[in-house]
Amino acid sequence: MCGIIGAIAKNNVVPVLLQGLQRLEYRGYDSAGLATIDNNKLQRIRSIGRVADLARQSSTACGYIGIAHTRWATHGEPSERNAHPHLSGNLIAVVHNGIIENYEELRMQLTTQGFLFTSDTDSEVIAHLIHSHYSRGNSLLAATQTAIGQLTGAYAIGVMAADNSNQIICARKGSPLLLGLGTDGHYIASDLSALLPITNNILYLQDGDVAEVSLSGYQIFDANGNTVERAVNICKLHSSKAELGEYRHYMQKEIHEQPQALINTLEGVCNSQALVPGIFGADAARIFPQIEKILILACGTSHHAGMVARYWLEEIAGISCTVEIASEYRYRVSVPDPGSLVLTISQSGETADTLAALNHAKDLGHTHTLSICNVPESALTRLSGLHFLTHAGPEIGVASTKAFTTQLAALFILTLILAKQRGGLDSKEEYNYLHALRHLPTAVDSVLKLAPDIARIAERFSDKRHALFLGRGLHYPIALEGALKLKEISYIHAEAYPAGELKHGPLALVDKEMPVIAVAPNDTLLAKLKSNLQEVRARGGELYVFADAGTRFHSGDGLHLIQMPEHAGYLSPILHTIALQLLAYYVALQKGTDVDKPRNLAKSVTVE
């Protein structure tokens, strides 16, 4: 998704802008641009290619103030003319993340006033709108405040005026924006990672905030125009955490970071002798006993985590659970149930559909809300009454890996705490589960050691165009997640089915060209799964079986076996996921795709 960085500093800001854009690349983009003010003149450079192309074009650019942007096309094709910053009359420059819903109406009004549009974007209206107010004698701040009052939709914006090289005005509603306070300058960015090498002093703007940023300081105004203070956070992340190191891709690095990500996420639990609700927030001990049901809302991979959790919550905690895709829930007429805990799951905490679904649930009268999220201070954590932070660290690869497994760990802890409160967990079981959680990072490490075996199997997929993933019970969502990973990064069409559904339709697809990947834990459904796999072999389908110890699968005769190191009981989905992440990664290497930035995808989906 689009990314913003802006700077006003004592030195030429172009290197900082370019470095910031590079650090935003992981979000996915199709064009990039920057604008600076030099001698009261706006200088703009835009490129349809990569940030590296923009850097080459910007070698002589200079200025002590500037704004820059990576664009992920929504309105208008990826092209130089649609790239940001957008200018109005060589006076106003604007970068924008989000979507302006009433842009057509505004465009008509502004065209009537004589403004000339040079792009197909919704964002360009913002530049002209601010220009129209600025040229009536308003300050840049007042012009921006009036303009955003006319916008419907979501935005994070950075604004400069050619005749005012002392200020950047920025504003947010529905899209994240933060200020970075450095010793040599002040910065704006849509994402913390853009600022990490520059400063650790971060201030998160809240919805409706407008900020006036200069070299000497900043001032923040809320939606009513009143001056407000926002806390400055000392961010503990270091930029080195986001470097590639020995790895070829961020996705590979993030897959291998999972033992540590799990250790960090489980720290508060594994270091204690008992499970306590307080890790979900101070009010959790009061709220959890009132919960009758759970409603999980999420998108994509995070939705798959919710699907796994449903099995755990119903089976271990005995609590009824529904899992719904956020973009469906938000527009569906549903029957509210105030006794439910609304649980949202998100890596970024900025996914537009998940945020809207949570707001919708609240509007329907749900008062108990909990989010599981990887980004502190994200919109989702602020919107939720209770929250749990997974400590996966920054996830740069577009395809989610360590965020998913740490979400699962968090959801398992939630399950155990609810089970305990409802009398469904005795102290011996609690001890055993805590023991299993402490062992989890070691078990994950053993799965990672399968990488060379999985890489060899992946070679067999280099000419494949389709794949079918099968799983049963708790591992059906893992089959879905495996298929999602494969299609995202290798562009192989992949589908997932509960294995029992095979004969109700998908078996028709099976022939020798169709690789069938089976998730085969050593659980109570093993015998059933084996019968399903016989159905595949009988039709000439080629099987790739990820089987736990003791499952008695043997390689040969159309069956390729990946022997998993152990069976992790209820935590088995975490181990099997990691094996499937590796499969997708190595198949993508075979296919030569852009692993970290798959085509058409973005890291945080901050628009609908």
**Applying CB under 6 A, which residues contact ligand F6R?**
299-302, 346-348, 351, 354, 399-400, 484, 488, 604-605
Distance between CA atoms of residues 377 and 384, nearest Å:
11
131 torsion bin: left (phi>0), alpha (psi -120 to 50), beta (else): alpha
Nearest residue (CB) to ligand F6R, 420 versus 485: 485
Nearest residue (CB) to ligand F6R, 42 versus 299: 299
Residue number of the CB closest to ligand F6R reads: 300
Nearest residue (CB) to ligand F6R, 128 versus 402: 402
Place of tokens 């990576």: 70
Distance between CA atoms of residues 408 and 423, nearest Å:
22
Nearest distance from C-beta of residue 379 to ligand F6R, angstroms: 11
Instruction: Name the nearest CA neighbour of 548 among 514, 522, 580.
Output: 522
Q: What's the Rg (C-alpha) of the chain?
A: 25
Instruction: Copy the structure tokens of residue 427.
Output: 């102290």
Instruction: Name the nearest CA neighbour of 231 among 212, 206, 213, 256.
Output: 206
Nearest distance from C-beta of residue 453 to ligand F6R, angstroms: 23
Instruction: Copy the structure tokens of residue 107.
Output: 């465009």
Nearest residue (CB) to ligand F6R, 205 versus 299: 299
**Among 253, 402, 487, 603, which one carries the catalytic annotation?**
603
Distance between CA atoms of residues 19 and 370, nearest Å:
36
Nearest residue (CB) to ligand F6R, 553 versus 586: 586
Nearest distance from C-beta of residue 378 to ligand F6R, angstroms: 9
Nearest distance from C-beta of residue 165 to ligand F6R, angstroms: 37
Distance between CA atoms of residues 516 and 491, nearest Å:
16
47 torsion bin: left (phi>0), alpha (psi -120 to 50), beta (else): beta
Nearest distance from C-beta of residue 300 to ligand F6R, angstroms: 2
Pairing label, strands 178-181, 201-204: antiparallel
Instruction: Copy the structure tokens of residue 268.
Output: 């508060």
Nearest residue (CB) to ligand F6R, 130 versus 326: 326
Pairing label, strands 3-9, 31-38: unpaired
Q: How many CA atoms lie within 13 A of 190 on its CB side?
A: 34
- The question of whether 170 is a catalytic residue gets the answer no
**Among 2, 170, 270, 373, which one carries the catalytic annotation?**
2
- The question of whether 428 is a catalytic residue gets the answer no
Distance between CA atoms of residues 556 and 560, nearest Å:
7
- Total Cβ atoms within 10 A of residue 189: 28
Nearest residue (CB) to ligand F6R, 88 versus 348: 348
Nearest distance from C-beta of residue 602 to ligand F6R, angstroms: 8
Distance between CA atoms of residues 28 and 598, nearest Å:
8
Nearest distance from C-beta of residue 307 to ligand F6R, angstroms: 12
Q: How many residues are given for the chain?
A: 608
The distance in angstroms from the start CA to the end CA of the chain is 11
DSSP state of 340: E
Catalytic annotation, residues: 2, 603
